[in-house]
Amino acid sequence: MEIRKTDKGQNMEKEAGSMCNLLRMDLYRLKRSWSVYFCFGILLLMTAATFLMVWLAGTEEGGKTAVKIGMMTAAQAAEHGSLEGVDLLMLFRRMGLSGGVYNMMLGIQVMLFVCSDYQSGFVKNIMALHQNRWSYAGSKILTAGIVNICYLTGQFAFVLLVNARFGHMVPGVGIRDSLFFISWAWMATTAFAALMVCICIWSRSVAAGTLAAVLLGTGSVVEPLRMFLDVFHLGGWLDDSIYLTLSMGPDRYETVSDLYVYLVGAGFLGIYTVVTGVVLKKQDI
């Protein structure tokens, strides 16, 4: 009995070591990949453009500038929108998370990274050295999670910097609220990244991965489906989808019920990780 336990422990240790080696290799390749920086650069560019548009349309000083450059008339500027009730977290969320743009860019980055293994034939070499395919799936999802936390914290830091540059256009938020929101948003977006890993491994296609990132990331599938099901009063369950959770989840922790967002993210992350492993084990590579 003890021998069996020892063998099982050795196998688990070997599998963990294999996944760690794959993770180190993936992270090394990722540092040298142009796509990870390109996608992040687009996120930062959209963040700066959003701040500029909000400043022009939502502040008195910005309205005057908009009139000077011909973006709006004096009458429109006099009726400029108010930023009352908008704080830094709300603005950060609307810059990509609630509309799905962040998921789309993260999904495209994951697609480019995973599909490159198949396009180059590198995956055959990996499978020859690491026969346990769960290690490969785990490494790809862990790598996506690391990229995700770098993207989220990097974009949030950029939002803080740009807000300060615009004279604190919207009020800041506390560290507790920021950590709560970023942590559950990371869980949910990492679950989406795991879905993208699954789709790319199953399809082995850049086109399919790109289409999935755009349609699933931006809610182009979830929103119409929910509207159709609402006709029959059956659309409520989609409120717990990744897209709608990111759109409607809490900004701040107020009651225990707000923790449901962690369950949604962890649940989908677990499901997509298992499905990815099963799909990969059944593939002939």
DSSP 8-class letter at 94: I
pLDDT for the residue numbered 126: 74
Nearest alpha carbon to residue 55 among 189, 182, 198, 166:
166
pLDDT for the residue numbered 66: 73
For 174: left if phi > 0, alpha if psi spans -120 to 50, otherwise beta; the answer is beta
Write out pLDDT tens, residues 224-271.
Answer: 999 999 988 888 888 899 999 999 999 889 999 999 999 999 999 999
What is the distance between the alpha carbons of residues 210 and 46, in angstroms, rounded to a whole number?
19
pLDDT higher than threshold 50 for residue 3: no
pLDDT higher than threshold 60 for residue 16: yes
**Which of 65-69, 270-274, 276-280 has the lowest average pLDDT?**
65-69
Count CB atoms within 10 A of the CB of residue 185: 22
- Residue positions counted in the chain: 285
Q: What is the mean pLDDT of the chain?
A: 86
pTM: predicted TM-score of the whole model, two decimal places: 0.89
pLDDT for the residue numbered 140: 93
Question: What is the C-alpha R_g of the chain?
Answer: 22
pLDDT higher than threshold 80 for residue 27: yes
**What's the mean pLDDT in 71-86?**
67
Give φ, ψ of 82 to 5 degrees: -105, 145
